[in-house]
Structure formats: C-alpha cells, structure tokens
Amino acid sequence: MTESWVQILEIAGFPTGVLLLDFETVFTADYSLSKMSTVEYVMDPRFELTGLGYQWLNGDGGFLPPNEADAFLANLREQYGPDLAGVTLCGMNLKF
C-alpha cells in the first residue's frame, strides 16, 4: 500500500500543513543566484521583491504584490512561529 504524503510527513515528524512559496525577484545577466551566493544576492542593493506566489496543498493560493507580501509573511510567522517551524515549506531558494 502506498502511503499518502500526509502519512509520510506524520511519520517523519513534519507538520502536515504544506505551503509552496515562490519569491519573485529582479535579476539580470550579471545579478542572479546562478552568479552569486544567496547572501550576496539578497544583500545587494539591486535586490527587489517583485511578488510572492503561494499555494497551500489544500487548494488555497495566489500571487501577492510586494506591498502585500510582508503582511502575509508576518501572518505566517504569527501562526506558525518565527521560523515557520509549524508548517512544512516547499519551494526554491527559500533561504531568503
């Protein structure tokens, strides 16, 4: 019998609430994560969040402009802890 992803997360001790995040940022030929470390990229004065895509595995999702992304992330930290330890995150480049 194949176990569902919820059962697998429970067995592994992970939260079963799963959130997919996709941070959209400005990049150029010489300013990108393929050319710089994450820290260099985020600390660079050219860093700019252009939006945040999100999808809960229960179906709720959307895209937030930069001016709404901070409030969304603050709400997540309030609900799931400052390090978001109460939710399982999936995504690329989640270091920032």
The ranges of the chain with pLDDT < 70 are 1-2, 93-96
pLDDT at residue 91, rounded to an integer: 84
> And the tokens for 47?
């860093």
pLDDT at residue 5, rounded to an integer: 87
pLDDT at residue 59, rounded to an integer: 85
pLDDT at residue 92, rounded to an integer: 73
